[in-house]
Amino acid sequence: MNTQRLPYWLTLGVAVVFLFMHAPLLVLVLFSVNDSKFSMEWKGFTTKWYERLAERQDIVDGLMSSLTVGLASTVIATVLGTLMALAIARHEFRGRRAIEALLYVPIVTPEIVVGISLLILFMAAHFPLGLGSITVAHVAFNISFVAVVVHSRLQGMDRNLEEAAMILGADEITAFFRVTVPQLWPGIISGAMLAFTMSFDDYVITSFVAGTDAATLPMVVYTMVKKNIEPSINAISTVVLLATTILIIVADRAGREESLTAKKAPAE
C-alpha cells in the first residue's frame, strides 16, 4: 500500500476548494483591466479604471488617511506591544494570568462590539471623532497582536545572550539595545507589518469611530460597493489586494530571517 500519494478524488476535491478560495479575487483583478462597464465579456485591456481612481479626490484622501492612521497606529501599537511582550516573557509577577486574559479580550470580541463600545466611550467623553479616534481604536486592537508575535520570538531567543553581554561589561540598557533588539528585530518588523495591514484593511471598527468628516480608504470602498458604481471598484480592490500581498510577503520574509535556535552546525 502506497502511503505517499493521495487518492485522486481527494486531490481533485482540494483543488476545487482552492479554486473557490482564490478564483473570486483573481476575477476581480482580471476585470479591473477589462474595457467593459457592465458586461462580463472580455473587451480588451485598459487602465482607465485605475486612471479614474487617481482622479477621484475621495480615493486619494482616503488613501492618505489610511496611510496616516496606519503608520501612527502601527508605531504606537508596536512599541506598547513589544514592552508588554518583554514584561511577560522575562519576568515573574503576580497577576500574570489576568494580563494574559486581558491580551485575549480583543481576539474574542467581535469587531462590531469593539466599534460601538468605543463610540460610546468617545461620545460620553466628548472626544472628537476623526483620524485621532480611528488611530486610538486601531492601536487598541493591534497591541495584543504585536505582543503575541514578539512574545513568541522572545521565547525562542537564547537567554544566555543577554547574560553573555552583561558579563562582558554591558549593563541592562546596553545589552537590550545591542543584543536583544537585533535578535527581536525580525519579529518586531513582522509584527509591525501585520499590524499595519490590519489597520489598513479595517472597515467595521473604523466606520463607527470615524465620525462624519474623516474617511479611510476602506470606508470609501464601502460606499462605492453599496452604491454599486462602475468597475473602478475592481481597480481599487486590486490595489488593496496587491498592497496587502506585498506587505504580507515582506512580513513573512522578515519573520523567517535568522532562526534564533542553534542551527545544526556544519561538520568540524
Partner 1 sequence: MAEAPYAGPVVEFRNVSKTFGNYKACIDISFQIERGEFFSLLGPSGCGKTTTLRLIAGFEEPDRNGGEIRIDGQLVNTQRPYERQLGMVFQNYALFPHLTVERNIAFGLEMRGTPKTEIPGRVEKAMSMVRLDPGLFARRKPAQLSGGQRQRVALARALVLEPRILLLDEPLGALDLKLRKEMQLELKQLNKDLGMTFVFVTHDQEEALTMSDRIAVMSNSRIAQLGTPAQIYECPRTPFVARFIGESNFFEGKCVERQGDGWLVEGEGARFEVPNHPGLSEGGAVRIAVRPEWLDVFRPDAVPPGENALPGVVRTVIYLGETLHVLVRVGQREVAVAVRNEGQLTRPLTFKAGDAVVVAWMRDDCQVLEEDG
Partner 2 sequence: MTVRQRFLRFFHERPQLKAWALLAPGMGWLLLFFVVPLLMMFGYSFMPRNPLGGVDAGFTLENYARFFDPLYLKIVLKTLGYAVSCTALCLLLGFPVAYAIARAGRLRNFLIFLVMLPFWTSFLVRMYAMMFMMRDSGLVNSTLIDLGVIETGFEMLSTPFAVLTGLVFGFLPFMVLPIYSSLEKLDLSLLEAAAVLGARPAQSFVRVTLPLAMPGVVAGSLLVFIPALGSFLTSDVLGGAKEVLVGNLVQNQFGSARDWPFGSAASFVMMTLVLGAVTIYLRVRDAGEAMEK
Q: Which is nearer to partner 1, 40 or 267 (CB)?
A: 267
Task: Provide the 3-class DSSP secondary structure of residue 243.
Answer: helix
Per CB under 8 A, which region of 16-24, 44-52, 151-159, 179-187 contacts partner 2? 16-24
- Is there binding between residue 267 and partner 2 (CB under 8 A)? no
Q: Which of 25, 164, 229, 246 binds partner 2 (CB under 8 A)?
A: 25
Tally DSSP H helices, then E strands, for the chain.
12, 0
| Assigned C-alpha cell, 266 | 556544519
Residue 78 contact partner, candidates partner 1, partner 2, none, CB within 5 to 8 A by sort of partner: none
Q: Which is nearer to partner 1, 41 or 258 (CB)?
A: 258
CA 123 → CA 67, 82, 196, distances in Å?
25, 30, 26
Amino acid identity, residue 212? T
| Whether 202 contacts 77, CB under 8 Å | no
| Whether 49 contacts 230, CB under 8 Å | yes
Q: Which of 44, 45, 108, 265 binds partner 2 (CB under 8 A)?
A: 108
- Is there binding between residue 55 and partner 1 (CB under 8 A)? no
DSSP 177: I
Query: CA–CA separation, 51 vs 169, rounded Å?
Result: 59
Least distance from partner 2 to the Cβ atom of residue 238, Å: 9
- Is there binding between residue 147 and partner 2 (CB under 8 A)? yes
Query: CA–CA separation, 268 vs 258, rounded Å?
Result: 21
Residue 3 contact partner, candidates partner 1, partner 2, none, CB within 5 to 8 A by sort of partner: partner 2
Query: CA–CA separation, 268 vs 2, rounded Å?
Result: 39
Least distance from partner 1 to the Cβ atom of residue 185, Å: 8
Q: Which is nearer to partner 1, 157 or 221 (CB)?
A: 157
Binding site residues, partner 1, CB under 8 A: 158, 160-161, 163-171, 174, 178-179, 182-183, 258, 260, 262-263, 265-268
